[in-house]
Amino acid sequence: MKFFVDTADVNEIRDLAETGLLDGVTTNPSLVAKSGKDFIPLIREICGIVPGTVSAEVAATDYETMIQEGRYLATLAKNVAVKVPLTPAGLKVCKALSSGGTMVNVTLCFSSAQAILAAKAGATFVSPFVGRLDDIGEDGMGLIKEICEIYRAQNMKTEVLVASVRHPRHVVEGAKLGAQVATVPPAILRQLFAHPLTDKGLAQFVADWQKTGQKILPAEVQPLKTRA
Protein backbone atom coordinates (compact mmCIF):
# COMPACT_ATOMS: atom_id res chain seq x y z
CA MET A 1 0.00 0.00 0.00
CA LYS A 2 1.21 3.50 -0.84
CA PHE A 3 1.08 6.15 1.89
CA PHE A 4 0.12 9.70 0.96
CA VAL A 5 0.01 12.43 3.60
CA ASP A 6 -3.08 14.61 3.59
CA THR A 7 -1.78 18.08 4.37
CA ALA A 8 -0.50 21.32 2.85
CA ASP A 9 1.94 21.91 5.73
CA VAL A 10 5.37 21.94 4.08
CA ASN A 11 7.23 21.31 7.33
CA GLU A 12 5.15 18.22 8.04
CA ILE A 13 5.63 16.97 4.48
CA ARG A 14 9.39 17.48 4.60
CA ASP A 15 9.69 15.73 7.97
CA LEU A 16 7.64 12.72 6.86
CA ALA A 17 9.41 12.54 3.49
CA GLU A 18 12.70 12.09 5.34
CA THR A 19 11.44 8.74 6.67
CA GLY A 20 11.53 7.34 3.13
CA LEU A 21 8.03 5.93 3.69
CA LEU A 22 6.03 8.70 2.03
CA ASP A 23 4.74 8.01 -1.48
CA GLY A 24 2.81 11.20 -2.16
CA VAL A 25 0.72 14.10 -0.89
CA THR A 26 -2.93 15.07 -1.18
CA THR A 27 -4.14 18.63 -0.75
CA ASN A 28 -7.54 20.28 -0.97
CA PRO A 29 -8.82 23.86 -0.74
CA SER A 30 -9.45 23.58 3.01
CA LEU A 31 -5.88 22.38 3.69
CA VAL A 32 -4.43 25.11 1.47
CA ALA A 33 -6.47 27.75 3.30
CA LYS A 34 -5.21 26.38 6.62
CA SER A 35 -1.60 26.66 5.43
CA GLY A 36 -1.99 30.39 4.78
CA LYS A 37 0.19 30.12 1.65
CA ASP A 38 -0.44 30.96 -1.99
CA PHE A 39 -1.68 27.87 -3.79
CA ILE A 40 0.47 27.73 -6.95
CA PRO A 41 3.90 28.28 -5.36
CA LEU A 42 2.85 25.92 -2.55
CA ILE A 43 2.13 23.09 -5.00
CA ARG A 44 5.44 23.70 -6.75
CA GLU A 45 7.25 23.56 -3.42
CA ILE A 46 5.56 20.33 -2.36
CA CYS A 47 6.33 18.73 -5.72
CA GLY A 48 9.98 19.56 -5.16
CA ILE A 49 10.00 17.83 -1.79
CA VAL A 50 8.11 14.68 -2.73
CA PRO A 51 8.93 12.80 -5.95
CA GLY A 52 5.66 10.87 -5.74
CA THR A 53 2.18 11.99 -6.71
CA VAL A 54 0.94 15.36 -5.42
CA SER A 55 -2.79 16.02 -5.76
CA ALA A 56 -3.75 19.62 -6.55
CA GLU A 57 -7.46 20.36 -6.65
CA VAL A 58 -9.34 22.60 -9.05
CA ALA A 59 -11.38 25.38 -7.46
CA ALA A 60 -14.12 25.81 -10.07
CA THR A 61 -17.24 23.69 -10.40
CA ASP A 62 -18.14 24.33 -14.04
CA TYR A 63 -16.54 22.33 -16.85
CA GLU A 64 -15.09 25.21 -18.85
CA THR A 65 -13.18 26.71 -15.93
CA MET A 66 -12.27 23.36 -14.38
CA ILE A 67 -10.64 22.08 -17.55
CA GLN A 68 -8.58 25.26 -17.87
CA GLU A 69 -7.53 25.05 -14.21
CA GLY A 70 -6.73 21.37 -14.55
CA ARG A 71 -4.57 21.86 -17.62
CA TYR A 72 -2.69 24.64 -15.89
CA LEU A 73 -2.15 22.65 -12.69
CA ALA A 74 -0.77 19.77 -14.74
CA THR A 75 1.98 22.06 -16.04
CA LEU A 76 3.31 22.85 -12.55
CA ALA A 77 5.25 19.60 -12.20
CA LYS A 78 5.37 16.13 -13.68
CA ASN A 79 4.14 14.55 -10.43
CA VAL A 80 0.94 16.60 -10.16
CA ALA A 81 -2.35 14.71 -10.16
CA VAL A 82 -5.23 17.05 -10.90
CA LYS A 83 -7.96 16.58 -8.32
CA VAL A 84 -11.57 16.97 -9.46
CA PRO A 85 -14.91 16.43 -7.71
CA LEU A 86 -17.11 13.47 -8.51
CA THR A 87 -19.73 15.46 -10.40
CA PRO A 88 -20.83 15.22 -14.03
CA ALA A 89 -18.61 18.20 -14.90
CA GLY A 90 -15.74 16.79 -12.85
CA LEU A 91 -15.91 13.42 -14.62
CA LYS A 92 -16.00 15.17 -17.98
CA VAL A 93 -12.80 16.99 -16.98
CA CYS A 94 -11.34 13.70 -15.77
CA LYS A 95 -12.00 12.06 -19.13
CA ALA A 96 -10.45 14.93 -21.06
CA LEU A 97 -7.35 15.19 -18.88
CA SER A 98 -6.72 11.47 -18.48
CA SER A 99 -7.08 10.96 -22.24
CA GLY A 100 -4.21 13.41 -22.64
CA GLY A 101 -1.99 11.56 -20.18
CA THR A 102 -2.61 13.67 -17.06
CA MET A 103 -3.01 11.90 -13.71
CA VAL A 104 -6.42 12.61 -12.17
CA ASN A 105 -7.65 12.04 -8.63
CA VAL A 106 -11.46 11.96 -8.47
CA THR A 107 -12.45 13.04 -4.98
CA LEU A 108 -15.56 13.11 -2.77
CA CYS A 109 -16.63 9.58 -3.68
CA PHE A 110 -19.37 8.16 -1.45
CA SER A 111 -20.80 5.24 -3.43
CA SER A 112 -19.73 2.30 -5.55
CA ALA A 113 -21.79 3.61 -8.45
CA GLN A 114 -19.78 6.83 -8.37
CA ALA A 115 -16.54 4.81 -8.25
CA ILE A 116 -17.54 2.88 -11.39
CA LEU A 117 -18.10 6.17 -13.23
CA ALA A 118 -14.72 7.52 -12.06
CA ALA A 119 -12.96 4.43 -13.42
CA LYS A 120 -14.89 4.71 -16.70
CA ALA A 121 -13.73 8.32 -16.96
CA GLY A 122 -10.11 7.19 -16.71
CA ALA A 123 -9.32 8.32 -13.16
CA THR A 124 -5.86 7.43 -11.90
CA PHE A 125 -7.22 7.45 -8.34
CA VAL A 126 -10.68 7.47 -6.81
CA SER A 127 -10.97 8.82 -3.27
CA PRO A 128 -13.79 7.31 -1.18
CA PHE A 129 -14.22 9.29 2.07
CA VAL A 130 -14.55 6.56 4.68
CA GLY A 131 -14.48 8.77 7.78
CA ARG A 132 -17.28 11.01 6.57
CA LEU A 133 -19.43 7.96 5.87
CA ASP A 134 -18.71 6.58 9.34
CA ASP A 135 -19.65 9.96 10.79
CA ILE A 136 -23.22 9.62 9.48
CA GLY A 137 -23.60 5.99 10.55
CA GLU A 138 -22.72 4.36 7.22
CA ASP A 139 -19.99 1.77 6.62
CA GLY A 140 -16.97 3.50 5.14
CA MET A 141 -14.80 0.39 4.95
CA GLY A 142 -17.72 -1.54 3.47
CA LEU A 143 -17.59 0.91 0.58
CA ILE A 144 -13.85 0.27 0.12
CA LYS A 145 -14.52 -3.47 0.06
CA GLU A 146 -17.22 -3.14 -2.58
CA ILE A 147 -15.21 -0.82 -4.82
CA CYS A 148 -12.16 -3.09 -4.66
CA GLU A 149 -14.30 -6.11 -5.55
CA ILE A 150 -15.88 -4.30 -8.51
CA TYR A 151 -12.57 -3.04 -9.85
CA ARG A 152 -11.03 -6.51 -9.64
CA ALA A 153 -14.04 -8.14 -11.29
CA GLN A 154 -14.08 -5.58 -14.10
CA ASN A 155 -10.29 -5.30 -14.41
CA MET A 156 -10.49 -1.55 -13.84
CA LYS A 157 -7.09 0.11 -13.46
CA THR A 158 -8.13 3.02 -11.24
CA GLU A 159 -6.42 2.86 -7.83
CA VAL A 160 -8.56 2.99 -4.69
CA LEU A 161 -7.32 5.78 -2.43
CA VAL A 162 -8.72 5.52 1.10
CA ALA A 163 -9.46 9.09 2.18
CA SER A 164 -10.97 10.85 5.19
CA VAL A 165 -8.96 8.51 7.42
CA ARG A 166 -9.82 8.88 11.09
CA HIS A 167 -7.54 6.28 12.74
CA PRO A 168 -4.91 3.63 11.94
CA ARG A 169 -7.50 0.86 11.61
CA HIS A 170 -8.85 2.56 8.50
CA VAL A 171 -5.39 2.14 6.96
CA VAL A 172 -5.03 -1.48 8.06
CA GLU A 173 -8.50 -2.48 6.90
CA GLY A 174 -8.01 -0.69 3.59
CA ALA A 175 -4.79 -2.62 3.01
CA LYS A 176 -6.51 -5.91 3.83
CA LEU A 177 -9.26 -5.16 1.34
CA GLY A 178 -6.84 -4.38 -1.47
CA ALA A 179 -6.89 -0.57 -1.62
CA GLN A 180 -3.68 0.59 -3.26
CA VAL A 181 -3.33 3.92 -1.42
CA ALA A 182 -4.27 5.57 1.86
CA THR A 183 -4.00 9.30 2.37
CA VAL A 184 -3.51 10.05 6.03
CA PRO A 185 -3.26 13.21 8.16
CA PRO A 186 0.24 13.63 9.64
CA ALA A 187 -0.81 12.86 13.21
CA ILE A 188 -2.48 9.60 12.21
CA LEU A 189 0.43 8.63 9.97
CA ARG A 190 2.69 8.95 13.00
CA GLN A 191 0.29 6.81 15.03
CA LEU A 192 1.11 3.93 12.69
CA PHE A 193 4.57 3.83 14.25
CA ALA A 194 3.28 3.79 17.80
CA HIS A 195 2.59 0.92 20.18
CA PRO A 196 3.07 1.01 23.96
CA LEU A 197 4.75 -2.40 23.98
CA THR A 198 7.31 -1.16 21.45
CA ASP A 199 8.12 1.79 23.73
CA LYS A 200 8.25 -0.42 26.82
CA GLY A 201 10.43 -3.03 25.15
CA LEU A 202 12.85 -0.44 23.76
CA ALA A 203 13.19 1.25 27.16
CA GLN A 204 14.08 -2.11 28.72
CA PHE A 205 16.63 -2.91 26.01
CA VAL A 206 18.28 0.51 26.41
CA ALA A 207 18.43 0.18 30.18
CA ASP A 208 19.93 -3.31 30.03
CA TRP A 209 22.50 -2.28 27.42
CA GLN A 210 23.62 0.70 29.48
CA LYS A 211 24.29 -1.65 32.39
CA THR A 212 26.88 -3.48 30.29
CA GLY A 213 28.94 -0.33 29.81
CA GLN A 214 29.65 -1.33 26.21
CA LYS A 215 29.56 0.55 22.91
CA ILE A 216 29.03 -1.00 19.48
CA LEU A 217 31.01 1.62 17.55
CA PRO A 218 34.74 2.05 18.21
CA ALA A 219 35.76 5.45 19.58
CA GLU A 220 37.10 6.71 16.25
CA VAL A 221 33.72 6.28 14.53
CA GLN A 222 31.41 7.43 17.31
CA PRO A 223 28.72 9.87 16.09
CA LEU A 224 29.81 13.50 16.45
CA LYS A 225 27.07 14.23 18.97
CA THR A 226 28.60 11.72 21.43
CA ARG A 227 32.16 13.07 21.19
CA ALA A 228 33.53 15.33 23.92
71 pLDDT exceeds 80? yes
**195-210 pLDDT, tens per residue?**
999 999 999 999 999 9
The pLDDT-based confidence of 221 (bands split at 50, 70, 90) is: confident
Q: What is the mean pLDDT of residues 164-178?
A: 98
Report pLDDT for 225.
61
* 100 within domain boundaries: yes
Report pLDDT for 220.
83
* 58 within domain boundaries: yes
The pLDDT-based confidence of 226 (bands split at 50, 70, 90) is: very low
Q: Which of 117-131, 185-199, 213-227 has the lowest mean pLDDT?
A: 213-227
10 pLDDT exceeds 90? yes
C-alpha pair distances (Å), 36 with each of 33, 120, 167: 5, 36, 26
- For residue 182, give the CATH number of its domain: 3.20.20.70
134 pLDDT exceeds 80? yes
Averaged pLDDT of the chain: 96
The pLDDT-based confidence of 223 (bands split at 50, 70, 90) is: confident
Please answer whether residues 165 and 130 qualify as being in contact, where contact means their C-beta atoms are separated by less than 8 angstroms. Answer: yes
* 111 within domain boundaries: yes
Give the DSSP H or E segment for 66: helix 63-74
* 8 within domain boundaries: yes
Which residue range(s) make up the domain with 15? Answer: 2-191
Report pLDDT for 224.
66
Cα–Cα distance measured from residue 221 to residue 98, given in angstroms and rounded to the nearest whole number: 52
Q: Which residue has the higher pLDDT, 137 or 220?
A: 137
DSSP per position, 78-120: TTEEEEEESSHHHHHHHHHHHHTT-EEEEEEE-SHHHHHHHHH
Cα–Cα distance measured from residue 92 to residue 201, given in angstroms and rounded to the nearest whole number: 54
Instruction: List residues with catalytic annotation.
Output: 83
Please answer whether residues 189 and 10 qualify as being in contact, where contact means their C-beta atoms are separated by less than 8 angstroms. Answer: no
CA atoms within 13 A on the CB side of 114: 19
228 pLDDT exceeds 50? no
Residue type, 215: K
* 222 within domain boundaries: no
* 199 within domain boundaries: no
* 152 within domain boundaries: yes
Percent of the chain residues topping a pLDDT of 90: 95
* 214 within domain boundaries: no
What total number of domains does the chain contain? 1
